[in-house]
Amino acid sequence: MSRNNLVDMSKQAPDLQRVVSDITDEMRQRSERGAVATYIPELARVDAKSFGLVVIDAAGNVAASGDCDQPFSIQSVSKVFTLTLALGKVGDRLWQRVGREPSGSPFNSIVQLEFERGKPRNPFINAGAIAVTDVILSGNRPREALGEIVRFIRLLADDPSISIDEAVAASEQRTGYRNFALANYMKSFGVLDNAVETALGVYFHQCAIAMSCRQLAMAGRFLAFLGRDPSTGHSIVKPERARRINAIMLTCGHYDGSGEFAYRVGLPGKSGVGGGILAVAPGKGSIAVWSPGLDTAGNSHLGTIALEALSNRLGWSVFGQLS
């Protein structure tokens, strides 16, 4: 038993551990792994063969395999945590700035912003996430806003060692031309309160937070269990807020691949271009997978296949669960 009341799954629930280990073995043998993101040069250095998978169930059992303790760049998975923080700060007023409809567009697309007068479709496309970060930034210095985000994630994961990979942040800062375009465009419509450079500085750093699958699965548990940390009973958000964040993950968490992910996996999930996906099986467990190769929509290729297999074998789809 660890300090989180978590239990090594291999002894407690061998079936779940077996499923997780089997899927990892299957994924290791695949030759088609997708393409590692290169538009952030530092991300291109990652070993494309890496693969990690962790499931934490309601009882706190942890089933882990592969490179499950190797930190990777969480990138857009951070947007789940910043959305939670921003909703905690301004509540439903957030929706005056950001919509909650799927975009049907790539994560860094600018086309809808013109038609919709600078209001991003949802908090998970880049424009929406930059607007959410701008809300967290208001009234804070950039360092404080970033500190708040990192502290929140450390608290959720119950791990004070989580930190920012400065090389990744600097790499994106140097090459983030699209994000500068998106932020400038929103600023011209008055959607951002803070300076474009400041909002983007915080955004690039939040995306550069490095976490392992084990830490990410821990951090996602409150979404699987009605806003509570099931091992301590601490409430992070109200149940209705957890449900709504899950709804946005399901409909928008994989950009223009969100419908496909819902169809194949059937779970709320949020991907990042670092190859990580956090998925939530309400009432059942929290899942993190990492495989750096991406599909054409920018979502982890093998990560999606692994989650599809996991949700099938465990019967965890939200569209019809096995008991």
Interacting residues with ligand GLN (CB under 6 A): 75-76, 107-108, 126, 172, 179, 207, 272-273, 298
Q: Which is nearer to ligand GLN, 72 or 107 (CB)?
A: 107
Q: Which is nearer to ligand GLN, 177 or 319 (CB)?
A: 177
CA dihedral sign of residues 42, 208, 32, 257: negative
Q: Which is nearer to ligand GLN, 50 or 126 (CB)?
A: 126
Task: List the structure tokens of 48.
Answer: 């494309």
Q: Which is nearer to ligand GLN, 128 or 298 (CB)?
A: 298
Evaluate whether 294 touches 257 at the Cβ level (below 8 Å).
no
Backbone angles phi, psi at 57, to 5 degrees: -95, -175
Q: How buried is residue 195: exposed, middle or buried, by Cβ count under 10 Å (0-12/13-18/19+)?
A: middle
Maximum Cα interatomic distance, the chain, rounded to a whole number of Å: 57
Least CB distance from residue 205 to ligand GLN, whole Å?
10
Q: Which is nearer to ligand GLN, 75 or 258 (CB)?
A: 75
Count CA atoms closer than 13 A to 21's CA, side-chain side: 10
Q: Which residue is nearest to ligand GLN (CB)?
A: 76
Least CB distance from residue 74 to ligand GLN, whole Å?
8
Least CB distance from residue 321 to ligand GLN, whole Å?
29
Q: In the chain, which ranges are E strands?
A: 7-8, 35-36, 52-57, 61-66, 72-73, 163-164, 209-211, 269-271, 276-281, 285-290, 293-294
Least CB distance from residue 108 to ligand GLN, whole Å?
6
Least CB distance from residue 12 to ligand GLN, whole Å?
34
Q: Which is nearer to ligand GLN, 133 or 317 (CB)?
A: 133
Least CB distance from residue 179 to ligand GLN, whole Å?
5
Instruction: Supply the DSSP symbol for 125.
Output: S
